[in-house]
Chain A
Amino acid sequence: MRRVLAILGAVLCLAAASDPADRLPDPAQEARARELFREVRCMVCQNESIDDSNAELAGDLRRLVRDEIKAGKTDEQVRAHLTGRYGEFVLLKPAFSWGNAVLWGAPFVVVILGLLLLFQSFRNRPADEELTPEEAKRLDGLSRD
């Protein structure tokens, strides 16, 4: 059962990022800001991006991102600014760094390991062409029920 914390109740309903009062006048810049919001964590909230959260800090961060974009910074510069100020914790997408190699590499390692095991099983025991008499008998039994 998911017991929602009281915080969420307060945060809930609204509006957060789409509040018309804060929007940037240029729709292209606003769209970029919204993309970035989804990658930035509201650090006092439980596990929300600043795009969803209504907390005060999320509002401040949104203002900061919008101001930077308005000032002509690139997405990369905005991200760098945020991590410089709040650490890597602020980004919902972990950096591709050696420290995170385990995290990013694990899915591929599991797939490669699995495939190696599969190929190994083919190499060691080539599939035989014919059914052994035992197998034929068993197949017969299975198809009868």
Chain B
Amino acid sequence: MNVLTVNDLHLDYGHGATANPILKGVSMHLQRGEVVALLGPSGSGKTTLLRAVAGLESPKSGTIDIGERRVFDGSKKLELPAEARNLGLVFQSYALWPHKTVFDNVAYGLKLRKMTARDIEPKVREVLAQLGLGHLGERFPHQLSGGQQQRVAIARALVYNPPVILLDEPLSNLDAKLREEARAFLRELIVRLGLSALMVTHDQAEAMAISDRILLLNNGKIEQQGTPQSMYESPDTLFTAEFMGSNNRLPARVVARNGGTARVQVEGMALNATARGTGASNPDVDASALIRVEEVRIGRTPVDNGIQLPLSTCMYLGDRWECLFKHGNSSVRAYSKHRVDPGNYWLEMPAEKLWVF
């Protein structure tokens, strides 16, 4: 069952001649108990889409339904105000009210729902305990650490059991070390409480770790959607492939194509590759060959499906080395377990991992 349905949503900033289209016909749905990530570069409209669902932006046309209830319909001029949509929203800046204690911050939504103080107290205590904040109820937001503030913001959004919880870049305000812990905490919390969540992020690793399904937005449209695994391992477009991981992009020429496989010319070598996407990669056309950095294998001896390049430099990353091989305009990055000595190397690119679009 869908708890959130968005259909052909259009949204402009500004009016008339100065109108700047931000969303150009976005459709999506969110099922009960599912976590969907809105992923995309800045300016792709992901935050705008989230705010439109929350009722904080006014779309031009399209429809938004929360459960069975229509909350926006462009053709009928129906627009429910934010306070009538009964959603939970976690802000990027947390937006905790500094003049209220943690308890009052969380209790406010219940107070607005006309609950008595006697019913509010145990409910708030329960949510605070679920988030590991049980002992902090009487503190003010500025007395908390960044991670604790984030949890209060989540508790505040959860306390009145909204059908959908919206998260706007929930981890971006935390420092790098804390972010990984918070990521695990958030995923565990969502699974434990069985929440339906829509999360905005610009970090593909975060999106893949937390969500069940990813919607990749590009310039106001959905580029591709699917499970994290399918998005990472079988992208349909060059944009998706490039956005989802660290890649080597090599200038290539398609020599021949046969269904799902293609023969390409890279650095003077003929290689077998996989053809992805729909329109591209006809023979005798300049194209881009793409391979994930972690799929390149470094070797001293000649290989079938590989090119030869001299080592330029090596960077130590702690758990491995990242090596840059460079000659002329072509450069390839690859990981190595050990330090690599200067010299020429063969870089093997397995045919199923080398993609042309």
Q: Do A and B come from one complex?
A: no
Binding site for A on B (CB under 8 A): none
